[in-house]
């Protein structure tokens, strides 16, 4: 049971409209979204800060999100993103596992993807970006993309804190971390 009970319908009109806009037809609102709806201010701020429409391909964006949430042990958000986006991003089982347990230079990733994984790992493990990682990033991405990637890691760090701190239960359709996760 989550620490704060998710809101139930009927939702406030603005929240109902936002939930309808972001959820695929026929899919009920995520537990995370319904829990955030308990505070319309937090709900609004989180959704105003969404970064799913940025300068990256879906695949690049999902690498950053999936690696961030996996590194932070947030199976809830990782599992939702794998369920909704992994196939569309062209992830194989090897890619999915590599977001959780693979090294930053796993052979399944292209050089630009390895740079994104290294960025996530550096920010989470060291709270900074090492010079070799910065060099790899600048070889593949422009300043706007690098700023976006850093913000994306930070945003999903916050989402991971919310999910873990609230002890949200996994969605019924969400993926689970692969066996062998440390």
Q: Summarize pLDDT for 59-93 with one digit per residue, the tens.
A: 999 999 999 999 999 999 999 999 999 999 999 99
The percentage of the chain sitting over the pLDDT mark of 70, rounded to a whole number, equals: 99
Q: What is the pLDDT of residue 53?
A: 87
H helices of 8-101, in order, are: 13-22, 31-36, 40-48, 58-71, 75-81, 93-100
Q: 58-165, which class in CATH?
A: mainly alpha
pLDDT at 15 over 90: yes
Residue matched to tokens 């290294």: 118
What three-state secondary structure class fits 168?
Answer: coil
Q: What is the pLDDT of residue 143?
A: 98
- pLDDT for position 26: 93
Q: How far apart are CA 155 and CA 157, in angstroms?
A: 5
Sequence-ordered list of residues with C-beta below 8 angstroms from that of 79, at least 6 positions apart, any chain = 170, 171, 174, 175, 176, 177
pLDDT of residue 140: 98
Query: For residue 118, what are its two tokens?
Result: 């290294």
pTM of the model: 0.95
Q: How far apart are CA 42 and CA 107, in angstroms?
A: 40
In the chain, what are the domain boundaries? 13-48, 58-165
Q: Mean pLDDT of all residues in the chain?
A: 96
- pLDDT average, residue stretch 157-178: 97
Binned at pLDDT 50, 70 and 90, residue 182 comes out as low
CA 27 – CA 29 distance, rounded (Å) = 6
Q: For 143-155, what is the mean pLDDT?
A: 97
Res 144 pLDDT > 80: yes
- CA gap 98, 11 in Å, rounded: 38
Nearest to 153 by CA among 181, 180, 178, 126: 126
Confidence of residue 117 (pLDDT cuts 50, 70, 90): very high
**179: confidence class by pLDDT, cuts 50, 70, 90:** confident
Question: Taking 80 as the threshold, does the pLDDT of residue 180 lie above it?
Answer: no
Q: pLDDT at position 1, please? A: 83
Q: What is the pLDDT confidence band of residue 98, given thresholds at 50, 70 and 90?
A: very high
């Amino acid at each position: 049971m989550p620490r704060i009970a998710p809101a139930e319908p009927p939702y406030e009109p603005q929240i109902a409209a936002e939930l309808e806009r972001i959820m695929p037809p026929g899919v009920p609102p995520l537990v995370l979204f319904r829990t955030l709806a308990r505070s319309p201010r937090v709900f609004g701020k989180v959704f105003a800060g969404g970064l799913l429409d940025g300068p990256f391909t879906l695949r690049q964006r999902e690498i950053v999100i999936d690696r961030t949430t996996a590194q932070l042990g947030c199976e809830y958000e990782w599992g939702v993103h794998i369920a909704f986006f992994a196939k569309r991003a062209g992830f194989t089982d090897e890619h999915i596992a590599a977001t959780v347990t693979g090294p930053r230079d796993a052979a399944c990733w292209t050089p630009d993807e390895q740079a994104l994984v290294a960025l996530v790992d550096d920010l989470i493990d060291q709270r900074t970006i090492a010079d070799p990682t910065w060099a790899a990033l600048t070889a593949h991405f422009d300043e706007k993309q690098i700023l976006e990637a850093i913000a994306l890691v930070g945003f999903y760090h916050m989402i991971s804190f919310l999910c873990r701190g609230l002890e949200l239960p996994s969605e019924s359709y969400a993926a689970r971390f692969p066996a062998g996760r440390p």
